[in-house]
């Protein structure tokens, strides 16, 4: 490095290098300038301006994005695992369960005999044709069902025979017994029953083959008779009565009076 000669600005005398004052007049002196040979002179890097937003390189942004993706995957996986553990450990409710969003079954309609006190629950989609204090006649989806009570001293076999004999011959033709109903009952009372075939003549004088059943049971001096008829379908249904299972369910749910 080379130090330039210094001279006092007040008296003009030469001042020794780095002397803070003039040796002649005592005037304060400026610091000497130090120069660097051209062979080793490099331009100084410009000072970096600070700002509120930090700048990142492309590689730094790529690494940050990768970390964010990994963090998101781990978070989702952890949440899914936690949910699966909760759902997997949950047991099926067996009592005092909350309401489920399902279509409720229609509540059954109920007929109660004012004369004999028995009660019949039937499909609410069936239509009441007639009813009184002793019984009710219902139009089912395919046919009809009649429940009637009476005070009778006849045997159950005689009650069934009289019920069949009372059918009007103008509409119920070619009536023939098909089979006995084994284990016939009404409610929890054992009884008797039989299945018949017939030709039912309609209002247009056209006859249709039908199957019908008659069941009877007696309790406490009250005899109840059930009569149900359907279009005959011997190929697909037991005893040829398509609604036989519904008639049987009604017999199962039947409730005697005075119990």
Q: Looking at the predicted structure, is the pLDDT value of residue 132 above 60? A: yes
Cα 207 to Cα 167, 169, 170: the distances in Å are 15, 12, 11
Would you place residue 10 in the very low, low, confident or very high pLDDT band (cuts 50, 70, 90)? Answer: confident
d(CA 216, CA 241): 18
DSSP state of 84: H
Report which DSSP code applies to 240. Answer: G
Residue 221 CA to residue 202 CA, distance in Å, equals: 37
pTM: predicted TM-score of the whole model, two decimal places = 0.59
Residue ranges of domains in the chain: 1-38, 109-253
Give the class (CATH, top level) of 109-253: alpha beta
Q: Is the per-residue pLDDT at 187 higher than 70?
A: yes
Confidence of residue 195 (pLDDT cuts 50, 70, 90): very high
pLDDT greater than 90 at residue 204: no
Q: Is residue 56 predicted with pLDDT exceeding 50?
A: no
pLDDT, position 77: 45
Q: What percent of the chain has a predicted confidence (pLDDT) above 90?
A: 53
Nearest to 121 by CA among 90, 147, 86: 147
Beta bridge partners of 224: 149, 217
Residues 6+ apart with CB under 8 A from 109: 121, 122, 123, 124, 126
């Amino acid at each position: 490095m080379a130090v330039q000669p210094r001279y006092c600005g007040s008296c003009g005398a030469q001042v020794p290098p780095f002397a803070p004052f003039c040796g002649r007049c005592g005037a304060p002196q400026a610091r000497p300038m130090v120069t660097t040979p051209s062979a080793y002179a490099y331009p100084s890097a410009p000072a970096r301006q600070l700002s509120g937003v930090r700048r990142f390189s492309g590689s730094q942004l790529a690494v940050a994005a990768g970390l964010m993706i990994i963090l998101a995957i781990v978070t989702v996986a952890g949440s899914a695992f936690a949910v699966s553990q909760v759902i997997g450990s949950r047991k099926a409710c067996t009592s005092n369960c909350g309401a489920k969003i399902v279509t409720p079954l229609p509540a059954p309609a109920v007929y109660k005999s004012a004369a004999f006190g028995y009660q019949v629950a039937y499909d609410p989609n069936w239509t009441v044709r007639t009813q009184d204090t002793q019984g009710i006649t219902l139009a089912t989806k395919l046919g009809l069902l009649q429940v009637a009570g009476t005070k009778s001293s006849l045997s159950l076999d005689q009650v069934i025979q009289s019920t069949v004999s009372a059918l009007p011959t103008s509409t119920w033709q070619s009536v023939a017994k098909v089979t006995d109903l084994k284990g016939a009952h009404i409610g929890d009372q054992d009884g008797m029953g039989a299945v018949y075939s017939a030709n039912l003549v309609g209002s247009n004088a056209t006859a249709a083959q039908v199957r019908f059943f008659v069941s009877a049971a007696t309790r406490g001096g009250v005899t109840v008779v059930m009569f149900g008829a359907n279009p005959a379908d011997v190929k697909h249904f037991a005893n040829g009565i398509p609604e036989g299972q519904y008639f049987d369910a009604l017999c199962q749910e039947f409730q005697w009076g005075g119990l």
